[in-house]
Amino acid sequence: MPSAIDIVPAVATRREEATGFFQNLVSKGLGWARKNSLWQYPFVTACCGMEYMSVASARYDIARFGAEVPRFSPRQADLLLVVGTVNCKQAPILKRIYEQLAEPKWVIAFGVCASSGGFYDNYATVQGIDRLVPVDVYIPGCPPRPEQVLDGLMLLQKKVQAQQHKLIDRLPAHPAAAE
């Protein structure tokens, strides 16, 4: 009895090509689902928070992009929105929250303070959150307009769709488990 993979000669003639075809199909489907259901963790520290609220409210309606659900537990979120100035005392907190986010995860730096420290060029302010966590999209502006935020979100959606997704992302086995 031929396997499902062997029945795809119209699309691919080799087993590896057929496997690649199905993997791409699954990846695209997962990418589509993930980009349209981003669950955000808002790490709001300063005045950019007003703009964040504006994006979430009816006029700009972030729900149109499937990203309207803020979760205040990082384990239930996959998008870290860093909104506002981050000072050095907050740095370990931000890092821990990032580490606790569910995989796969993405980060948006919301406003110039989060992106580069903004005009707080001093010893107490983190000069860009990319010194602490990897950032996927930077949104400029002090504060950014809601349209800019939505633009940044759409950029992230494109990035998520273009990534390779797997049905099961297994972490490598812990060395102690092999003993």
Binding site for ligand SF4 (CB under 6 A): 46-48, 84-85, 111-113, 118, 142-143
Nearer to ligand SF4, 46 or 69 (CB): 46
Beta carbon of residue 122, minimum distance to ligand SF4 (angstroms, whole number): 13
The angle subtended at Cα 87 by Cα 83 and Cα 93, nearest 5°, is 75
Nearer to ligand SF4, 85 or 157 (CB): 85
Residue 98 near residue 107 (C-beta atoms within 8 A): yes
Beta carbon of residue 141, minimum distance to ligand SF4 (angstroms, whole number): 7
Residue 130 near residue 98 (C-beta atoms within 8 A): no
Residue 6 near residue 15 (C-beta atoms within 8 A): yes
Beta carbon of residue 41, minimum distance to ligand SF4 (angstroms, whole number): 17
- Helix, strand or coil, per DSSP, at residue 167: coil
Beta carbon of residue 109, minimum distance to ligand SF4 (angstroms, whole number): 10
Question: How many Cβ atoms from other residues are within 10 Å of residue 50's Cβ?
Answer: 12
Nearer to ligand SF4, 22 or 130 (CB): 130
Q: From the centroid of its chain, how far is CA 118?
A: 22
Nearer to ligand SF4, 55 or 160 (CB): 55
